[in-house]
Chains A and B, each alone.
Chain A
Amino acid sequence: MSYSTFNKNQINPLQEPMFFGNSVNVARYDQQKHSVFEKLIEKQISFFWRPEEVDVSRDRVDFQNLTESEKHIFISNLKYQTLLDSVQGRSPNIALLPIVSIPELETWIETWSFFETIHSRSYTHILRNLFTDPSQVFEDIVINEEIQKRANDISKYYDDLIFYTQLWQTHGEGEIEVDGEVHNVTMRELKKKLFLCINSVNALEAIRFYVSFACTFAFAERDLMEGNSKIIRLIARDENLHLVSTQNILNLWQYGKDDPEMKEIAEELRDEALAIFMKAVEQEKEWAHYLFQHGSMIGLNEEILCQYVEYIANMRMEAIGFDAPFKQRNNPLPWMNKYLVSDNVQVAPQEAEITSYLVGQIDSSVSASDLGDFEL
């Protein structure tokens, strides 16, 4: 079933499933099948920020005074985050736009991916300030074995869905041979790949960032690398929205509020979804081990970071209908929370820590009547 950039059929988007229905034609948002995606778009746009607005110049001095093991921690985390956002800046678009069927979700996906590109741009902003030539850091991302291990698990579900979607779009359902390998393309198989892909993205945004976030904020607790920390706060705030979008998709399927076949698939593949999440937890713990192999940093060590991963994982897994698998119910890093609060309230705008000051949030609830008396 080939893709059309403007489906000529009359379709009612209120009757379409989120994915694998008719492709979207008119981009209209006056009515929504799932209004949460429209609200996510509004919220995300209200969070708009530019990396260049954050002054990172003082970080250069701080960085030079870090110990070698702390430098390793700082740079490795930036590499890992660069990888994650490189993937996220393109993959939701490439994998999900060809199969999405409702306009509010289509636009959410584009908005989401766009913000990932802001994240990517902010890493360049940070690294350019620390190094005259940051090439070596970027180049290591495709060489470094620890990062490669993760890259594979992150991209494989996307790649699989993209490949099968391409086969389906060019050949339709049936057995298709490519390079001597036979692929059985059915709608059921496509939907299964979609389900696993969304679970993998959900796990990525739920926990894969949090070891790096913890390190960043641990530096900030010591008044170090504060420019970087301001940027990461903005990224963390965006990531929470992204996470909530995949949690919503998974729950809509599970509760049978969208495609009934996806409800069946959610039940059928429950164990696989769980395994994807648990593997991400394991990899984050291994990442903590890799970071601290040359020594830890003040306020953090491998053990406490692993406890934090478990604490976060419990929270995230309960949100998509799993039981909390870990005993860690208390927050082992209570100071993390203050960096993750979305401070919408303007307290003292001159304080650079206030994220809303940095990004100029706009009150989106202005109505036409508020402007009624204005004349130019």
Chain B
Amino acid sequence: MSNTFKVRVNGQHELTVDPSEGSSLLEAMEAAGLETRYHCRDGFCGACRTQVKTGTIAYINEPLAIVRPGDCLACCCVPTSDLDIDH
């Protein structure tokens, strides 16, 4: 059984993400051809910081970079609901 979620990016792109496929939110945006921000891709630099306007995420790996309220780190998380994000 797989659960897919709708992810709206920057108010204009709509992606369908299947977290069970094991790719991060960052990889899902890249697969859809969006320009992404990243450096380490390993949760410790904070470059992929993304604003979560609505919805919830879960971390695949616990990040070291600081996550301020309302933000997530796209390189190491997956959606756990439909999302509206600014990246």
List residues of A whose CB falls within 8 A of some B CB.
36, 39-40, 43, 237, 240-241, 243-244, 247-248, 251, 315, 318-319, 321, 330-331, 334, 337, 340-342, 344
Contacts and interface: CB of A to CB of B under 8 A. Distances in A.
A361 to B, nearest CB: 11
A337 B42 contact: no
Interface centre among B39, B41, B42 (most CB of A within 10 A): B39
Contacts of A36: 64
Interface string B17-41: 0000000000000000001011111
Interface residues of B, number: 16
B64 A344 contact: no
Main secondary structure of the interface of B (DSSP, over half): loop
Contact of B68 (A241, A321, A337): A321
Nearest to A312: B47
A331 B42 contact: no
B60 interface: no
A330 to B, nearest CB: 6
Interface of B: 35, 37-42, 44-47, 49, 64-66, 68
B66 A240 contact: no
B12 to A, nearest CB: 14
27 contacts: A40-B64, A43-B64, A237-B40, A240-B39, A240-B40, A240-B45, A241-B64, A243-B46, A244-B44, A244-B45, A244-B46, A244-B65, A244-B66, A247-B66, A315-B47, A315-B49, A318-B49, A319-B46, A319-B66, A331-B37, A340-B39, A340-B40, A341-B41, A342-B39, A342-B40, A342-B41, A342-B45
A172 B38 CA distance: 47
Given A39-B64, A43-B44, A248-B66, 12 more contacts: A36-B64, A43-B64, A240-B39, A240-B45, A241-B64, A244-B66, A251-B66, A315-B37, A319-B68, A330-B35, A340-B39, A342-B39
